[in-house]
Structure formats: structure tokens, C-alpha cells
Amino acid sequence: MSKIREWLKQNAELVPSSHGNEWVTKSRGDYITLEGMEDKLDYLVEHGIAENVSSIWEAGKPICIGFNPEEGKWYGWSHRAICGFGVGSKCERGMCHYRPVDKDDFLQECIRFWTEEYHQNIRAEHRGDHVYVEWEYSGATPNEKIRGHISGVKCPYPSEFGKGEWEAKTLADARQMAIDFADDVA
């Protein structure tokens, strides 16, 4: 029996759905994968994620966090990325799991996010329920037609602000970092 099959036997059950049979967690029915796509779960075995696998959203949604008891790390993931966090893990500005502490910190994060090689004269301001970020396309922009043009984007404030830069002192802190990471890369 493959390691994936062993993992599923311990942690999941196969249930019928409108898309065919799907694997869900035994604990609360969080979605894992469709039957026939089990090989896509290699990351769980590779990272030793064997406990507390669940969704960060309501029951039945896709799994995106889990615990590796041997490493003492919580992992967060999506289809795009996976990262583990333990006691001593840090959260710094620019990391996926960074959560601004207030509206001004959020404005600075919006500027950081939209700062890139082809943007110049970047500015941002608070406008009602969002930050508006604006930039001019630089002369290095590959699309010559938009060079010198102004563009912008509305960045809605998050429903909750976070801790900013911090360090995980407990496994509960590490779990929160995994949740924040999974939420950001989802």
C-alpha cells in the first residue's frame, strides 16, 4: 500500500459527491481530493503532515493546514505553496503570512506589493474602505504603448488586522502563522 493510501486510511474516508467520490477528513468532512487523484497528496507525506489536518474555513472546505508531530511544525498550504512554522518562526514584512497591524501599515504593504521594475512614482492614499495605489509605467515597460501611462488599483482593507512582525513563542502561535500563510496563498 502506498504511503498516500496509508495516510488516507488513517485520516480520511471516501464519500459520494456531485463530482464523483471524494476523500474527506474523518474529523469534520473537510475536502482532501477526488478519488483517482490521490497522487496529488504527496506533499502531505513528504512533509510528515499527520495530525490536525483541516480547513481554516467552515467544515467541508479544502484542507490547508496540518501538523507534523516529529518536527513540531504547523504547515499551511494551497495549490501554489506550502510552508512550515514552529516555535521560533518569524513573521516579517513582505512574507506571505504577514498581517498589517492597522490601516497605515496596510497602506505601506500595498505600496510594497505594487512596487516593481515597471512601476515608478508609486503613491497610495486611504479612500473610504480601501487604499488606492497608483503608479506610472516606466520606460522599461515591455509594452511600449503603456509607457508613461498612469494606472491604479483599489485595495480593500482586511476584515481584521494582524500582529505585524512577530515571532512564534508557542505551537499555537505557529498554527496561527500556518493559518495566515494558507489564507494568503489560497
Instruction: Answer whether 68's CB lies under 8 Å from 50's CB.
Output: yes
Cell representation of residue 61: 472546505
Query: What mean pLDDT comes out for the span 93-102?
Result: 96
Say what the pTM is: 0.86
Query: Given this model, what pLDDT does residue 105 score?
Result: 98
pLDDT of 1 > 70? The answer is no
pLDDT category at 10 given cuts 50, 70, 90 is confident
- Measured CA to CA, the distance from residue 85 to residue 101 in angstroms comes to 20
Q: Residue 19's CB: how many other CB atoms inside 10 A?
A: 9
The strand pair at 51-54 and 65-68 is best described as antiparallel
Tens of pLDDT, residue by residue over 33-45, are: 999 999 888 899 8
Query: Given this model, what pLDDT does residue 12 score?
Result: 93
Query: Given this model, what pLDDT does residue 2 score?
Result: 82
The 3-class secondary structure across the chain, one letter per residue, is CCHHHHHHHHHEEEEEEECEEEEEECCCCCEEEECCCHHHHHHHHHCCCCEEEECCCCCCCECCEEEECCCCEEEEECCCCEEEECCCCEECCCCCCCCCCCHHHHHHHHHHHHCCCCEEEEEEEEECCEEEEEEEECCCCCCHHHCCCEEEEEEECCCCCCCCCEECCCHHHHHHHHHHHHHHHC
pLDDT category at 30 given cuts 50, 70, 90 is very high
pLDDT category at 6 given cuts 50, 70, 90 is confident
